[in-house]
Amino acid sequence: MRKKIVAGNWKMNMTPSQGAILVTDITRQLVKDLDVQIVICPPYTSIDRVARVIRETKWVFCGAQDCHVQLSGAFTGDISAAMLQEMGVRYVILGHSERRKYYHEDDILVAEKIKTAIGEGIRPIYCCGEELQERETNQQFEVVEMQIETALFGLSPEQMSEVVIAYEPVWAIGTGKTATPGQAQEMHEFIRGMIAEKFGDDIASKLSILYGGSCKPENAHELFSQPDIDGGLIGGASLDADAFVKIIQSF
Ligand code: 13P
C-alpha cells in the first residue's frame, strides 16, 4: 500500500532555537510504531537543528520548502538540492502557491526543479491547486490538469515513483476555509486517474497524494478517511506541537 504522510510546512516561521524546541516537542509526543511518515519542512536556517533532533527517529524526515533548479553557480541567495541533501533533507516542497505568487514560478521551472531534486535523492512534494476564481467558475479540473501535465508528464516512470503530490486549493491556504472532504476526494481521484493514464496503475496506486489548506485537528480525520487522500501538508497548525500531533493521530 502507499505511504501515509503528514508534512508540516513551517513557511517563514521559527528561528533555529524555536524550531529545535518545536520539533523536540513533536517527536516526544509521538508513539514510535506509527504507520505514518512525518516530514518537517523548516526554513533553511533551521534545517540543521531540526535534522539533529530527528536523526534518531526512522519515521520523521526533514524536508525543505524549495530548492534551486541548478546544483551550484552564481545564484545569489539561493540554495541547491545538493546542499540540502548533505544536510539530511529527504523531501522538498516544490511549486507551492506562495512561490508561484511571490516569485512568479511556473510549472515549466518547477518541472526542472523536480528532476534536479530527484537526481540528488530528494523526493519532491509537488503542489498544485486552483485559485478561488477558478473554483467559482468551475475550472478547477482544467487548471490542475494543466499543472500536472506540465510539471510531471515529462518525468520517466522511475522519476514519477519518487514524487509526492499535494493538492492545495489556493483559496483554502491560510484562510480557515477547508475544501470539503468530498471536494478534496474528487480532485485527488482525478489526479490519481491522470497519473494512472500516463504512468500506469502500479505507479498511480503507490502515489501518495496529500491535501493541504487549513487542515486542522478538527477536520483532519474526515479528510484522511477519504480513499484517495493519503495525508496532509499542514501550514499554520504545524507550528503548534499539540495540533500537529493530533493531526498525525487522526490516522
Ligand atoms: P495552512 O495549513 O496554513 O492553510 O497552509 C497550508 C499550506 O500552504 C501548506 O503548504
The three-class DSSP label of residue 53 is helix
The ligand 1 atom nearest the CA atom of 237: 2
Query: Distance between CA atoms of 123 and 119, rounded to whole angstroms?
Result: 9
Contacts of 155 (CB under 8 A, 6+ apart): 111, 114, 115, 118, 163
pLDDT per residue of the chain (251 residues) written in tens, 0 to 9: 899 999 999 999 999 999 999 999 999 998 777 789 999 999 999 999 999 999 878 789 999 999 999 999 999 999 999 999 999 999 999 999 999 999 999 999 999 999 999 999 999 999 999 999 999 999 999 999 999 999 999 999 999 999 999 999 999 999 988 999 999 999 999 999 999 999 999 999 999 999 999 999 999 999 999 999 999 999 999 999 999 999 999 98
**Residue 230 within a domain:** yes
- Could you tell me the three cell numbers for 72? 551550484
pLDDT of residue 24: 95
CB 126 within 8 A of CB 42: no
CB 39 within 8 A of CB 5: yes
Query: Distance between CA atoms of 54 and 70, rounded to whole angstroms?
Result: 28
**Residue 119 within a domain:** yes
Q: Within 13 A of 137's CA, how many CA atoms are on the CB side? A: 7
| Residue of the CA atom closest to atom 9 of ligand 1 | 235
pLDDT of residue 208: 98
**Residue 16 within a domain:** no
**Residue 136 within a domain:** yes
**Residue 217 within a domain:** yes
**Residue 152 within a domain:** yes
Q: Which residue is listed with cell 523536480? A: 114
Q: Alpha helices of the chain — where are they, by DSSP H?
A: 16-29, 44-54, 81-86, 97-103, 107-119, 132-136, 140-152, 157-160, 181-199, 201-206, 217-224, 241-249
State which residues form the domain around 99.
Answer: 5-11+36-249
Task: Determine the distance separating the centroid of ligand 1 and the alpha carbon of 200, expressed in angstroms.
Answer: 30
Query: Distance between CA atoms of 28 and 32, rounded to whole angstroms?
Result: 10
Q: Where does ligand 1 bind, in terms of residues with CB under 6 Å?
A: 9, 96, 168, 173-174, 212-215, 233-237
Question: How many C-beta atoms lie closer than 10 Å to residue 155's C-beta?
Answer: 19
| Residue of the CA atom closest to atom 5 of ligand 1 | 235
The ligand 1 atom nearest the CA atom of 236: 3
The ligand 1 atom nearest the CA atom of 216: 2
Query: Distance between CA atoms of 127 and 169, rounded to whole angstroms?
Result: 9
- Say which CATH number the domain at 101 has: 3.20.20.70
**Residue 213 within a domain:** yes
CB 14 within 8 A of CB 42: yes
**Residues with active-site annotation:** 96, 168
pLDDT of residue 251: 85
Query: Distance between CA atoms of 124 and 157, rounded to whole angstroms?
Result: 14
Report which DSSP code applies to 172: G
- Tell me the best of 126, 168, 170, 223 to mutate to test the pocket of ligand 1, counting ligand atoms within 8 Å of each CB and taking the most: 168
CB 194 within 8 A of CB 203: no
The domain tally of the chain equals 1
Q: What is the largest CA-CA distance in the chain?
A: 48
Output phi, psi for 42, to 5 deg: -85, 170
Helix (H) or strand (E) holding 131: none
Report which DSSP code applies to 190: H
CB 243 within 8 A of CB 214: no
**Residue 98 within a domain:** yes
